[in-house]
Amino acid sequence: MTDQPSVNAPDPGPTVKNLDTIVSLAKRRGFVYPSSEIYGGINAVWDYGPLGVELKNNVKKAWWRSMVQERDDIVGLDAGILMHPEVWVTSGHVGSFSDPLVECGQCRRRFRLDELKGAEDLSATELQDEAIVEQRGIVCPVDQGPLSPPRKFNLMFKTHMGPVEDEGATIYLRPETAQGSYVNFKNVQVSSRKKVPFGIAQIGKSFRNEISPGNFVFRMREFEQMEMQYFVRPGEAAAEAFEEWLPARKAWYERFGVTPERLRFREHAPDELAHYAKKAIDVEYRFPFGWKELEGVHNRGDFDLGSHAKASGENLEYFDPKAEEHFIPWVVETAAGADRAAFTFLIDSYHEEQLEKGTRVVLKLHPDIAPYKVAVLPLLKKRPEIVDLCHKIKADFQKDIMAVYDDTAAIGKLYRRQDEIGTPWCVTVDVESLEDGAVTVRDRDTMTQERVATENVKRAILDRMAAARAG
């Protein structure tokens, strides 16, 4: 396999050593808030504020552009969250979508075994061993009480459809978007007239009743996925597609600014592979709490289409007109989380720089990912002519990109505020602007300033954005 760093390579360390640094910034600046905070919050559910929603939307747009807009072989889909319950029986989720659960005999708290100290290196088989907790001496992380033997805990959220809560009305909130692509395979293929190989991309909400969610938005019970199912001929074609998609997905994060040294690949051992997978490799990132999965690439074989064809009685074969052959396509999947990706960009872009007058906190977000692309600032807010010109410039920007106006502090503090939320450029209107028809453009990363004619400033910013996108 190409471009596969070793999991034993030197640890570069996290960009941010203390996760609280990011959590504090996220709430203070309006990226992420605890959900239902006025009622004490709800565990592992978070709300995106004004900047957070822009950040995540930009991540989704960047993914969609690279996955669908820039390709001829992938189309989009938006399947329903609620699906026929047999979908999840057939997919194996009802029977086997579970994590190893242990419970403290003293405090009665429940934990996911593989996340406890002393269990980090356990294989999937060992995690199911009833004696493993006692053998390893693993205890409750809260009060060091004894833990129960592990048992499987299904992560599916159940709900009811219709006016009567009986077993016949039981359905599930989807734990992944992928199944929507499989049950719609024939509809999409026929209507779009796509030939194998081709893909179906989807962005949407998923829900998992996690045993021990945490680490801020890294693991939540309600989250958004960005998944693509690539349908290929059986066998060798799937292996070749897997080798192509794996480095491509790592390169996508690097394209938008993630530090390459903080990315690596980790292949799943045979006993930890999902029931559908022939091969699975994760793109991992070095978070403040260690190396964790950022995105997965999976060779799912023909399990999904084959299983749904058998259970539903529908023919989900593809006919290759050139070879005059019918076959069930195999699937190579790329599965990423929009929340986790946004979190990663936020962490990796965080920098503290020592200046003569203190510390500058700056988010060096790629312009495509940054919530605001430009801030328009008045040097003197008491001059109506300056303020009016600011609003005129901002309104012109807003036709094409997200822009913000701010006059709530002195110019130095305004620059620092925009640095801290990742705005790539600031446009400052001053007294001279009224005389010479020019404004000052400040670069976030270099802090250099350039005088640009007012009528050219929008073009100058858009050109800078295009240059950043081109790499």
pLDDT, tens digit (0-9, with 9 covering 90-100), for 38-87: 999 998 999 999 999 999 999 999 999 999 999 999 999 999 999 999 99
Contacts of 119 (CB under 8 A, 6+ apart): 113, 127, 132, 136, 138
Q: How far is CA 467 from CA 133, 252, 460, 461, in A?
A: 55, 17, 11, 10
Q: How far is CA 43 from CA 38, 99, 151, 230, 346, in A?
A: 13, 18, 22, 35, 22
For the chain, which residues make up each domain, given as ranges? 19-87+157-346, 98-154, 365-470
For the segment(s) 19-87+157-346, the CATH number from 3.30.930.10, 3.20.20.140, 1.10.3080.10, 3.40.50.300 is 3.30.930.10
Range of lowest pLDDT (152-161, 330-339, 432-441): 152-161
- Taking residues 433-443, what's their average pLDDT? 96
What's the maximum distance between 2 C-alpha atoms anywhere in the chain? 81
Residue 9: per-residue pLDDT: 64
List of residues 6+ apart from 37 with CB closer than 8 A: none
What would the two tokens of residue 415 be? 């620059």
With beta carbons less than 8 A apart as the criterion, state whether 139 and 133 touch: no
Work out the pLDDT band at 163, boundaries 50, 70, 90. confident
Q: What is the CATH superfamily name and number for domain 365-470? A: Anticodon-binding domain (3.40.50.800)
pLDDT at 8 exceeding the cut of 70: no
Q: Compute the Cα dihedral for 212, 217, 218, 223 and give only its sign.
A: positive
Residue 7: pLDDT band by 50, 70, 90 thresholds? Answer: low
H/E/C letters for each residue in 212-252? Answer: CCECCCCECCEEEEEEEEEEECCCHHHHHHHHHHHHHHHHH
* pLDDT higher than threshold 80 for residue 166: no
pLDDT of residue 274: 83
- Is the pLDDT at 5 greater than 60, yes or no? no
pLDDT higher for 357 or 428? Answer: 428
**Rounded Cα–Cα distance for residues 266 and 293 (Å):** 9
Q: Which residue has the higher pLDDT, 125 or 244?
A: 244
Residue 168's pLDDT is what?
A: 67
Given a cut of 90, whether residue 14 has pLDDT beyond it is: no
Q: How far apart are the C-alpha atoms of 339 and 45, rounded to whole Å?
A: 12
Q: What number is the average pLDDT over the span 410-425?
A: 97
pLDDT bucket at 153, cuts 50 / 70 / 90: confident
The Cα 304–Cα 178 span in angstroms is 10
pLDDT for 2: 43
CA nearest 201: which of 378, 331, 344?
A: 331
How much is the pLDDT for 17? Answer: 85
Closest residue by Cα to residue 111 from 76, 73, 173, 153? 153
Question: Cis ω on the peptide bond leading into residue 260 (within 30° of 0)?
Answer: no
Q: Confidence class of residue 219 from pLDDT cuts 50, 70 and 90?
A: very high
User: Does position 29 have pLDDT exceeding 60, yes or no?
Assistant: yes
Provide the pLDDT for residue 146: 94
Q: 89 falls in which pLDDT band (50, 70, 90)?
A: very high
Q: Identify residue 196 by its one-letter amino acid code.
A: V
Report the alpha-carbon distance of residue 217 to residue 438 in Å, rounded: 43
Written as one string, the DSSP assignment of 297-342 is EEEEETHHHHHHHHHH-----EEETTTTEEEPPEEEEEEEEHHHHH
pLDDT at site 421: 98
pLDDT of 297 over the 80 cut = yes
**What pLDDT score was predicted for residue 149?**
93
- What tens digit of pLDDT does each residue of 383-398 get? 999 999 999 999 999 9
**Band of pLDDT at residue 3, cut at 50, 70 and 90:** very low
Model pTM score: 0.91
Distance CA 85, CA 450 (A): 60
**DSSP 8-state code for residue 383:** -
The CA R_g of the chain, rounded to the nearest whole Å, is: 25
For 118, phi then psi, to 5°, come to: 100, -10
Average pLDDT over residues 211-236: 94
Mean pLDDT of 246-269: 96
Is pLDDT above 70 for 280? yes
Q: Counting beta carbons within 10 angstroms of the beta carbon of residue 318, is it exposed (0 to 12), middle (13 to 18) or buried (19 or more)?
A: buried
Lowest-pLDDT range, 100-109, 220-229, 236-245, 414-423?
100-109
Give the distance, in angstroms, between the CA of residue 318 and the centroid of all CA atoms in the same chain: 32
Please give the average per-residue pLDDT across 340-368, as a whole number. Answer: 95
